[in-house]
Structure 1
Amino acid sequence: MQSYSKWIKWGLGALAVLALVGILVFFGNFFSKNNVNEKTDQENVTTKRNSGSGVQVTGKNNKTNYKTVIKDGHYLTSKARGITATKNNNQFNLISFQDGLLDFSKDRFSPSQYIFQEGQYVNSDTMSDWLGRKSDKNPDGLNPKDNGKTNDQRNPIYLQTIEEQNFMKQDDGKLKLEGIVLGLGMNTEDIYQKEEYGANYTQKISKADRVAEGQKMAEELVKRYRKIKGVSDDTPIVVAMYAQAPDDQLSGGDFYSWNKSTSGDKLEGWKSLNYQTVTLPMQGIDETSDKKTPASELNQSFTSFTDDVQNFFPNLSSVTGKANYKDNEIQELNVKISTQFYSATEITNFANYVAQVAPKYLPKGVPVKINISASDNMQAYITKDADSDDYTTTILN
């Protein structure tokens, strides 16, 4: 019995040694593989470390995405993230503003040549001052002084938000600033109160006033950025102007013009942008008209898509879409289907059906995202990349 016990102890000891060896081998291979990955080509989804700086550059998974910057293991967020002049009640504005600005930047700073970095040259305190009204206490405010009036003669808040994007290149293991893009979100209406906690009033802002005030603010911003440490006199600064959608609109606004400063404070000249956000289904469309537009043709196929999925699952609350256009060509389509499901099988079967019929009706050659939700909870989403006709379905718990 004693001999048998010794054999058990010896066997357990041997297993422990083998386990320890296995762990050491595993972690040896793990760290070895990590060291190899850091030296692989930049197109791989790995990171490239800038020696001694604590800054890394991520890889990218396709040619249309930027490499981005992380610092000390964390994504380098904007120093003025989320700062706005007033509360923005239309969340579609935020999405279309940020997504549209990034698409705009890709045409000026190619993802194949530049690294994207969130804005690092203006912090949140400074940005708050700039977005505020000009006053004795805030001489840096870009929005006009309060003239004390409470009717349509009041000075409205024209500038709602500023988004800064930095575009970098690697030089001897260090990141170097090669360009700045500034997005200016301009209000088309200003919601205000005549007294604190009182009723809300809406002041419409004319297009002429919005454009004129925006151009003056853009010129002033370029002057201010030229004075910031790290921004040289010949760093290209590009400004893109965005018109915010009203609070009650079921889509975001649109970019309408842009300008560029290649050196000093001077802007070269304003150029128009033909960006458009379309909410589907569109209202007041004459389907019999001979004058078909890309948006009206999409509206017709989207209506057929809606009829098809509602016929399959009659308990749908709504099917809506948001299509982004540039120069009359669709860039992206986002669809939201709202309903109430009572079982996992209903969700699964419905999502699979949507993925099957979507290629028949929805556009090809652009990314499509379909969100299926009940109440406030997303229950499934279906996606398609621009270079594929296959839809991928994901069911959420």
Structure 2
Amino acid sequence: MKKMAILSIAMMFLLSACAPKFGQEEVVQQKDNKQQKAVIPKYNISDSYYRMILPFKPSEARGLVVEDLNTRLDVDEFETGLMRVAQDRFSPQDYLFQEGQYLDKKTIQSWLKRKSEDDKGLNPALGNKGTNEEKNTKSPIYLANILEHDYLMKNDNNKVKLGGIVLGLALNSVHYYETEQGYPREVQIEDGVIEKEGKRLASEILSRVRQIKGLESVPITIALFKQQPQSAIIPGHFFAVTNVDEGSTTIDKWEKINEEYTLFPSDDAEKNHREDLMKFLNFKSDIEDFFPNYTGVIGKAFYVDDQLQQLTVNIPMQFYGKGEVIAFTQYVTGLVMEQFPDYITVNVYISSVNGPESIIIREAKAEQPFVHIYQ
């Protein structure tokens, strides 16, 4: 028996050593004339997502986005939206994603400062004349953050190398500062000024990036993001993008990105998207009629080229048992399938004071929704 046990263990080690690694592909990554082994997952959870090279290499500037942007909503949209922008040039079928490996934290922090505070600062100097209010009104901080994403290519020899980078520039719509007495103040920045300053900053950043080893000649895409005020409950959006050819140090043209988020219900939705708002209000009304414990429904609508693409709905409820959660989820699922057109994706998150209760996802053109009730 003892010999058979030893034999079984030996066979297990032999089989595990010879067995193929399902779900991944081994490659060699090249950077700075150095090579190291890496792994690419064979399977992708969606055509909208990039496969990411492993082991995961965090960006040297990791954490700066969370520190510098006004809201968590802006943080998420800035990162995922930049991937969405990248897909027009770097297809998820042909490129792999990696967090930025070239712009480190120290470099970005230096660039985000005012010119008077750091020789490399990209934001305007505050100046010495006038009160804090006068100086900040005249010279607000425009650039809030810089985000780098790297896109890698795999050749026939199972080697991957940098195929291009995408840079996101987060720009302030509101500049916050304090008076000499410590009172908080703010300066609204007009859209025209945001666009003008964003394009000016992009040209300077491109010039600097071309001087970084490894980025002298790669294709570069730069996208401009307008972040929301601190009090906002919807995220900001990208509004312009430019593609820079290999080795080029100049920006020839910009393309408009027509994206926006709208809160349902809101005055903006009433003014600009009334038909979609009415569908949402009918949905909201049907919930109110049948469930007395309803406390509110908030929707976040995402538009591309003025067409509704995705609606995310949050429903907080007071529940007294799991049966009520199941009944409510079933009812809302029926409303989603019947009341919203099938060309949009609808995400519904149902919660209580205890946390998430259920989730409903109806992808665009899907005949059946995904429904999950948390246990």
Q: TM-score, normalised by structure 1?
A: 0.83
Which one of the candidate residues 316, 319, 326 is aligned to 1:338? 316
For 1:47, the aligned partner's letter is Q
Single out whichever of 49-58 and 161-170 deviates more from structure 2. Answer: 49-58
1:224 has 2:182 as partner: no
Q: Deviations over 1:325-380 (max 9, x none)?
A: 11122332211111222322222222222222211123423433211122482222
- For 1:331 and 1:152, the matched residues in 2 are separated by 42
- For 1:228 and 1:272, the matched residues in 2 are separated by 28
Cross-structure match for 1:5: none
1:159 has 2:143 as partner: yes
Contact 1:85-1:160 at 8 Å conserved across structures = no
- For 2:85 and 2:65, the matched residues in 1 are separated by 21
Structure-to-structure mapping, 1:242-391, within 5 angstroms: 242-262=225-245, 263-283=247-267, 295-375=273-353, 377-391=355-369
1:236 has 2:219 as partner: yes
Contact 1:305-1:361 at 8 Å conserved across structures = yes
1:182 has 2:167 as partner: yes
For 2:52, what is the secondary structure of its paired residue?
Answer: strand
Cross-structure match for 1:8: none
- For 2:39 and 2:374, the matched residues in 1 are separated by 33
Change (3 A) 1:70 1:386: farther
For 2:328, what is the secondary structure of its paired residue?
Answer: helix
- Among the aligned pairs, what percent are the same residue? 29
Q: Which consecutive unaligned segments of at least 5 residues does structure 2 have?
A: 29-34
Contact 2:69-2:227 at 8 Å conserved across structures = no
Contact 2:65-2:75 at 8 Å conserved across structures = no
For 2:133, the aligned partner's letter is N
Q: Please provide the CA RMSD for this pair.
A: 2.6
Cross-structure match for 1:125: 106
Change (3 A) 1:376 1:344: closer
Change (3 A) 1:232 1:58: farther
Cross-structure match for 1:7: none
Structure-to-structure mapping, 1:63-74, within 5 angstroms: 63-71=47-55
Q: Deviations over 1:101-122 (max 9, x none)?
A: 2111111211111111111111
Structure-to-structure mapping, 1:78-117, within 5 angstroms: 78-84=59-65, 87-117=68-98
Single out whichever of 120-129 and 385-394 deviates more from structure 2. Answer: 385-394
For 1:215, the aligned partner's letter is K
- For 2:326 and 2:261, the matched residues in 1 are separated by 31
Cross-structure match for 1:40: none
Change (3 A) 1:27 1:377: farther
Change (3 A) 1:373 1:31: farther
For 2:289, the aligned partner's letter is N
Cross-structure match for 1:76: 57
Contact 1:254-1:276 at 8 Å conserved across structures = yes
Cross-structure match for 1:53: 36
Q: TM-score, normalised by structure 2?
A: 0.87
- For 2:248 and 2:372, the matched residues in 1 are separated by 50
Change (3 A) 1:364 1:78: farther
Single out whichever of 198-207 and 180-189 deviates more from structure 2. Answer: 198-207
For 2:27, the aligned partner's letter is N
Cross-structure match for 2:121: 141
For 1:192, what is the secondary structure of its paired residue?
Answer: strand
C-alpha displacement at 1:32, in angstroms?
A: 4.6
Contact 2:264-2:300 at 8 Å conserved across structures = yes
Contact 2:112-2:145 at 8 Å conserved across structures = yes
Contact 1:169-1:177 at 8 Å conserved across structures = yes
Q: Which consecutive unaligned segments of at least 5 residues does structure 1 have?
A: 1-13, 38-45, 288-292
- For 2:134 and 2:65, the matched residues in 1 are separated by 22
Structure whose alpha-carbon radius of gyration is higher: 1
Change (3 A) 1:208 1:86: farther
For 1:250, what is the secondary structure of its paired residue?
Answer: coil
Contact 1:251-1:278 at 8 Å conserved across structures = yes
C-alpha displacement at 1:180, in angstroms?
A: 1.2
Contact 2:51-2:96 at 8 Å conserved across structures = yes
- For 1:86 and 1:101, the matched residues in 2 are separated by 18
Change (3 A) 1:175 1:313: same
Single out whichever of 264-273 and 24-33 deviates more from structure 2. Answer: 24-33
- For 1:200 and 1:236, the matched residues in 2 are separated by 42
For 1:251, the aligned partner's letter is I
Change (3 A) 1:86 1:134: farther
Report how many aligned residue pairs link the two structures. 362
Contact 1:67-1:111 at 8 Å conserved across structures = yes
Contact 2:132-2:180 at 8 Å conserved across structures = no
Contact 1:58-1:69 at 8 Å conserved across structures = yes
C-alpha displacement at 1:48, in angstroms?
A: 1.5
Single out whichever of 152-161 and 184-193 deviates more from structure 2. Answer: 152-161
For 1:147, the aligned partner's letter is G
Change (3 A) 1:48 1:218: same
For 1:101, the aligned partner's letter is L
- For 2:38 and 2:292, the matched residues in 1 are separated by 53
C-alpha displacement at 1:86, in angstroms?
A: 6.6
C-alpha displacement at 1:158, in angstroms?
A: 0.6
- For 1:209 and 1:174, the matched residues in 2 are separated by 44
